[in-house]
Amino acid sequence: MTTQVRMYDGAPAGSPTAETLDEDRLSLPAWIYQDAEFLEAERELVFRPSWQIVCHLSDIPRAGDYHTLDFLGETICVIRGQDGVPRGFFNVCRHRAARLLDGSSGHCGSRVVCPYHAWTYSLNGDLIGVPERQEFSHMDLRRHGLAAVDLEVYRGFVFIRLGGNGPTVAEMMAPYDNELALYRLEDMVPLGRVTLRERAVNWKNVGDNYSDALHIRVAHPGLTRLFGQGYGVQSRGWVDKMWGALVETPSANLSERLYQKYLPDVEHLPPERKRLWSYYKLWPNIAFDVYPDQFDFMQSIPLSPTRTIIREIAYVLPDSRREMRAVRYLNWRINRKVSLEDKALIERVQHGMASRSYTVGPLGDSEVSLKSFGRRVRDLIPEARLNTRPGAGWFRRSNI
């Protein structure tokens, strides 16, 4: 169901010249990109029930290897068990709540030992040792294992979820699973380390821009040289997709020209994918860049209404060909530039959203990703239908 929303177009409210559009043809309102209470609502209604990517199984190959994710004020850890199974836990000791595992990744041996009073947990989260046990004679160890979170492995990637019981990652990715299956993601290994880049924008501006096909020919000259005008865009269920095929005309830019020239054959990809770049955005904040030469994930994590961390890392199939090594480096160079161009754009948008002159804007026919994202946000948080900020306390009151 769509609701009619009045767009601010300079005409006085109620004037017959004011334009009225279906909400589906309008962007989300600017206030929700800069409001602390709206972010609180998003934490509860958007993020807590969402799947968040932590790492790939190849990042934690041995029992006792772990990766952590800082998210919504929590630290979550994923630990590979003695049985080879990865498990997800809150990284919090059951005794006095000390943080257990340090850093973004590491190896904890055959057990997790708390640095505060040395309570000891097995790799599957059971509490197996308490020094000064007699002091806790009343306590049943079995009731004090680590608090678990939902975990799902999708095509080699480990996702966790803090709560909720929505669809699985596999169910959400289903419309495109046959495409991702071609890339042998399960066999990939990390190329480098996770990078964290902070952006002075609301997290939604990162995702909106990621699946915005209209800006590419205007604002990304490199991508336009490489892909011409031919970017496709599509939205199915929980996933938005964009794609472009490399043109054969050599680019005027050296890195791009060398990438075009040296991109080697990837035997297991079908012909139409050997020179295709595609991008998939999984609700609400995860993006996959799928290249013939590598695969990146990018996750935008809100720190505040106007600050976001972009967490990103690339994975590759082992391939010792010199051309492959070269194009992976060139890909990084090309996309580093794109990322700086996007940084400037999203900061420009964030700044404009603070203007009193702006509430919502119209969406074009092809802006299917922005429309689908808008529908989901409005369904979960109906206040997103309001053009201006409601009085303080709207979310806190509704949650008492």
Interaction site with ligand FES (CB under 6 A): 93, 95-96, 98, 114, 116-117, 119
The interface partner of residue 381, options being Fe ion, ligand FES, none and the CB cut-off 5 to 8 Å by kind, is none
Q: Are 161 and 150 in contact (CB under 8 A)?
A: yes
**Which lies closer to ligand FES via its Cβ, residue 144 or residue 325?**
144
Tell me whether residue 78 or residue 345 sits nearer to Fe ion (CB atom). Answer: 345
Residue whose CB is less far from ligand FES, 92 or 286:
92
Rg (CA), the chain: 23
Among 13, 151, 164, smallest CA distance to 85 is for 151
96 makes contact, choosing from Fe ion, ligand FES, none, with CB < 5 to 8 Å by partner type, with: ligand FES
Q: Cβ 277 to Fe ion, closest distance in Å?
A: 12
Q: How far is the CB of 115 from ligand FES (least distance, A)?
A: 7
Contact indicator for 210, 341 with CB cutoff of 8 Å: no
Region class of 352: left (phi > 0), else alpha (psi between -120 and 50), else beta: alpha
Least Cβ distance, residue 342 to Fe ion (angstroms): 4
Residues near Fe ion (CB under 5 A) are 342
Residue 112 Cβ vs ligand FES, minimum distance, rounded to whole Å: 10
CB-facing half-sphere around the CA of 301: CA atoms within 13 A:
23
> Look-up: residue for tokens 């004679």?
137
The CA-atom distances, in angstroms, between 241 and each of 101, 153, 171, 212, 396 are 36, 21, 16, 10, 35
Distance CA 120, CA 134 (A): 16
Say which entry of ligand FES, Fe ion, none residue 393 contacts (CB below 5 to 8 A, set by partner kind).
Answer: none
116 binds, among Fe ion, ligand FES, none (CB under 5 to 8 A by kind): ligand FES
User: Least distance in Å: CB of 9 to ligand FES?
Assistant: 58
Which alpha helices (H) appear in the chain, and where do they start and end?
36-42, 169-180, 203-210, 216-219, 221-227, 254-262, 322-353, 368-380, 394-398
Question: Measured from the CB atom, is 98 or 214 closer to ligand FES?
Answer: 98
Which among 218, 74, 217 is positioned nearest to 149, based on CA atoms? 74
Report the residue closest to Fe ion, judged by CB. Answer: 342
Closer by beta carbon to ligand FES, 90 or else 157:
90
Residue 67 or 241: the one with the smaller Cβ distance to Fe ion is: 241
- Residue 342 binding partner per list Fe ion, ligand FES, none, with a CB distance cut-off of 5 to 8 Å that depends on partner kind: Fe ion
Edge-to-edge order in the sheet of strand 65-71: 52-56, 157-161, 148-154, 86-90, 74-80, 65-71, 105-107
Give the nearest distance from C-beta 131 to ligand FES in angstroms.
8
- Shortest gap between Cβ of 212 and Fe ion (angstroms)? 7
Give which of Fe ion, ligand FES, none residue 114 binds (C-beta under 5 to 8 Å, depending on kind): ligand FES
State which H helix or E strand residue 107 sits in.
Answer: strand 105-107
Whole-number Å distance between alpha carbons of 263 and 266: 9
| Binding partner selected for residue 208 from Fe ion, ligand FES, none, CB under the kind-specific 5 to 8 Å limit | none
Smaller CB distance to ligand FES: residue 47 or 119? 119
